[in-house]
Amino acid sequence: MLEGDVIRCDSILVFGAKDHIGSELVKHIKKVAPHINLRLATHKMEGLLTLKKMFPEEEVVCADFFDKPSLLAAVQGMEGIFQISPDVFHEDNLVNNMLDVCEAAGTVKHIIRILGTPPGATLDLLPKALKKFRYYPAMQHLVATQRYQDSDLPVTFVNVAGYYMDDFTRMFSPSLYEEKTIRVAFDKRLAWVDHVDVAQVSAELLLSCKPENFRKIIDLTGPDILKFSQVAELFTKTLGVEVSYDGDEQRFFQAIKPVFTALWGEAAPEYFMKYFEWETEHDHMFKVTGFVKEILNREPTSFRAWILRNEDLLMDKWGMLETV
């Protein structure tokens, strides 16, 4: 392969295709490159119908990272792969299986792996209490990065180098919808990222990418660095509706405890409190980057623009939507 060659994938396998980032990536590819052969994956049979309803023209498959026959069948014949892991995931087994099936398939030219770490984070920066949990967010992306980099796979890492803005319509939504309050402890400075920007950057890299990017980490952010309290002020200013900030640690802990325990077990709530605290101590690492503009040739979505995009939803939740 010559320096300056461009890798183009004519067929792309998308994991998590019915969800948050995967679905936006599929929409973008269908819009800008409708000739691409898409194969859309979900890991449970019950997801297939939803996926087929969302994208009736595309091939849909059931494939699990931890079930090699289904994984191999999905990867077979594909050139590009979009790979995202949910929070708390056995990344060693994931990469081992990916390596085996990609070798067996022999067609894969490029993999995009989504990460979620502060830019420049390394294992040395993590305290023992967080290192004990190898497959939890502080460690899992560092583990996956290392394992992929040790393999010969042609992978580029797209790092969500901040928090998703739409955490406020997902995990942080209950207090925002019900009490017009952002109830998140640890008022740290953070970069904010639009999940659509993440999806479109990932799509464009699969459509066309220089091999020099392989094994590199592309840190993606929007244009804003804001603390949670400043996000509350931005909601208030943009929508003209008072949104307050509540950073009380005990109330936050009580709010996340049942949800996180149900998702990941008894140890999860305390782990996440330690993780959020660690992020706060290292919040100087979050910085704005220019990759969205460089790759998409447009400005990244600002937090104000994201709020305006979600104005109707928020006003509806607050019972303030004016209908004509």
Ligand X SMILES: NC(=O)c1ccc[n+]([C@@H]2O[C@H](COP(=O)([O-])OP(=O)(O)OC[C@H]3O[C@@H](n4cnc5c(N)ncnc54)[C@H](OP(=O)(O)O)[C@@H]3O)[C@@H](O)[C@H]2O)c1
Judged by CB under 6 A, the residue of 8, 20, 30, 134 near ligand X is 20
CB of 198 to ligand X, least distance (A): 8
Based on the shown chain and the rule CB under 6 A, indicate whether residue 233 belongs to the binding site for ligand X: no
Do the beta carbons of residue 232 and residue 243 sit within 8 Å? yes
- Of residues 57 through 96, those in contact with ligand X by CB under 6 A are 64-66, 84-87
# binding residues, ligand X (CB under 6 A): 25
Judged by CB under 6 A, the residue of 9, 14, 15, 26 near ligand X is 15
Of the candidate spans 38-46, 104-112, 199-207, 293-301, the one that interacts with ligand X by CB under 6 A turns out to be 38-46
Quick one: 7 or 273, whose CB is closer to ligand X? 273
The contact pattern for ligand X, residues 110-129, with x = CB under 6 A and - = no contact, is ----x-x-------------
Quick one: 7 or 223, whose CB is closer to ligand X? 223
Of the candidate spans 10-18, 247-255, 266-274, 305-313, the one that interacts with ligand X by CB under 6 A turns out to be 10-18
Based on the shown chain and the rule CB under 6 A, indicate whether residue 190 belongs to the binding site for ligand X: no
CB of 87 to ligand X, least distance (A): 5
Q: List residues near ligand X by CB under 6 A.
A: 15-16, 18-22, 42-44, 47, 64-66, 84-87, 114, 116, 137, 160, 163-164, 167
